Structure 1
Amino acid sequence: MPNEPGTSRQLRSRHRREQIVRLATTSGLASVEDLAEEFDVTASTIRRDLATLTAGGRLARTYGGAMALSAHPEASLRQRIGVAFEAKRGIGRWAAAQVLVGESVLLDAGSTTGALAFELRGHAPLMVATVGLTTLEALADAEAVHVECLGGTLRHLSQGFVGPLAEAALERMSFDRVFLGADAVTADDGICEAAMEQTRLKELMARRGETVYVLAHAAKLGQRPFHAWARLPEGWTLVTDDSAEPSALAPFLAAGITVVVTDAGGHAQLPPDPAVRPRLPGT
């Protein structure tokens, strides 16, 4: 039939695109060059495939390739703000106690950093820079705290600013302490987030601080819900809550990461198993 060659091409394209989705789902990321070699087609053909798959909501484009969309949709800040509320408050209280009057600190977006910001209301004089609306709201009437908003493009789900404007502002500032949030965190790969623009910003934030903390309640430890990662500098501190299992803390301790476990009152606790006892600052 006259249209058989066209039909055959369509079937091959459809099959190739299904395989591209499978590969991206398996490996997390897929580059144009690797896919072109895998399927013995041109890079232009692969780019057209990726454009089709992205338009259909099956992949997310990245620089030079694509990545699979997570099977775990990103929750909005409004959905997350009440989750593990007591744990976040305890983490925030401990973190606030580390901040000295007169210091310059940088707070990430998120509900846990928002809890920290609330605890900082009585610290003055103090300079707080942030990319998060929760921090801005918590400190809006704390007149003795100097607040800098880094600006950028607002991600409505996370209620945080990202993008080149926020990154440019960071290049002109440095901080005594940086407090980062996380969708998840592992000892080997660092912070896991839903969007690569978030991980890029977190890496830049971590570089601008003398001391770096990751604030993450127990349910986030060792999880990998998304495919975007922020690598952390050596010497960072994980701050989590006392519901964390020893087995969840063990990989961080084995990697030489300082681990702080807090109760709801913001006091540092020791986990029940001394074999995975965290190293507390000053001990």
Structure 2
Amino acid sequence: MFPLERHKKILELLTIRKVLKITELTEELNISVDTLRRDLNTLTKQGRIEKIYGGVKLVESRFGESSMDERMVSQLEEKDRIARKSSEFIHDGDCIYIDSGSTTYQIAKYVKHKKKLTVVTNSLPVAIELMDSDVELIMIGGKIRREEQSVVAYEYIFNFHELNVLKAFICCSGITIEKGISDYNLEEAITRKKMIELSKEVFVMADSTKFGKDVTISIASLDKIDTIVTDANVNASLIPKFKKTSTTLVIADE
């Protein structure tokens, strides 16, 4: 298991069990105490965990966006259904963009069997998930955001316009009819705006908790979004409202 994979596993376990002893982690991960200490030191320096007597716990988010690691293990059933439904729009031979995010990450496992598929991504977990598949993988270049396990790209570093992306699968933190989609982080928003601009078809993958929120940074109005895929818990009153827009709302049932 690579260090990044171990870090992800540690954070997943802590999100579920809140506090873990050193002995529990070494047994769960099947690694030595020395290796675990190196991993814990890294996560502590990143501000993700806090060492306590005999063990570790997560550093709690105090405001704004919850951490990537918290989101990776929250509402997994809904996110999995959204990903499975979204994968139906992906066909052999497509060139797609998969955004960084806990919901878009779930789609990676559903596209591994596609033939002649090209995936462009800024998500390190997506890249790791697809590494051993036959998918042609393109990682965009830029600055790594450790807390989001993503790469935020800049025009002067990565030539976006060389990409010929057919479909983009985008994450967001907020969706409203009036303002469209929004996010908490400016750098992530810039990358998403660029991919929306370049892609021929734009899909937003968002669980129902994102609706009715207009957060810090605007990404795009609804007229730039072709389809939003969400779960069955979405407020029923929103469905007729979306029918009056150019954006198709798709509900991922069980």
Give the AA of the match of 1:258.
T
Deviation at 1:185, TM superposition (A): 1.7
Give the AA of the match of 1:207.
E
Q: How far apart in 1 are the matches of 2:97 and 2:156?
A: 12
Deviation at 1:248, TM superposition (A): 3.6
Which one has the largest radius of gyration?
Answer: 1
Q: How far apart in 1 are the matches of 2:249 and 2:156?
A: 29
Q: Which blocks of at least 5 consecutive residues in structure 2 are unaligned?
A: 1-61
Select the residue among 146, 153, 158 that pairs with 2:143: 153
CA distance 1:146–1:163, shift in 2 (3 Å): closer
Q: Once structures 1 and 2 are overlaid, which stretch shifts more, 160-169 or 149-158?
A: 160-169
1:228 aligns with 2:217: yes
Q: How far apart in 1 are the matches of 2:150 and 2:144?
A: 6
Q: How far apart in 1 are the matches of 2:185 and 2:157?
A: 15
Give the AA of the match of 1:219.
T
1:219 aligns with 2:222: no
Contact 1:182/1:214 (CA < 8 Å) preserved in 2? yes
TM-score by length of 1: 0.64
Q: Which residue of 1 aligns with 2:130?
A: 139
Mapping for residues 1-283 of structure 1, pairs under 5 Å: 72-142=63-133, 144-164=134-154, 168-224=158-214, 226-232=215-221, 233-234=223-224, 236-264=226-254
Across the aligned residues of Structure 1 and Structure 2, the Cα RMSD in angstroms comes to 1.9
Deviation at 1:165, TM superposition (A): 5.3
Contact 2:98/2:120 (CA < 8 Å) preserved in 1? yes
Q: Secondary structure at the match of 2:138?
A: strand
Q: Which residue of 2 aligns with 1:68?
A: none
What is the aligned-residue identity percentage? 24
TM-score by length of 2: 0.70
Contact 1:110/1:134 (CA < 8 Å) preserved in 2? no
Give the AA of the match of 2:137.
V
Contact 1:194/1:228 (CA < 8 Å) preserved in 2? yes
Q: Deviations over 1:197-220 (max 9, x none)?
A: 221211110111111000001011
Deviation at 1:133, TM superposition (A): 1.4
Contact 1:191/1:199 (CA < 8 Å) preserved in 2? no
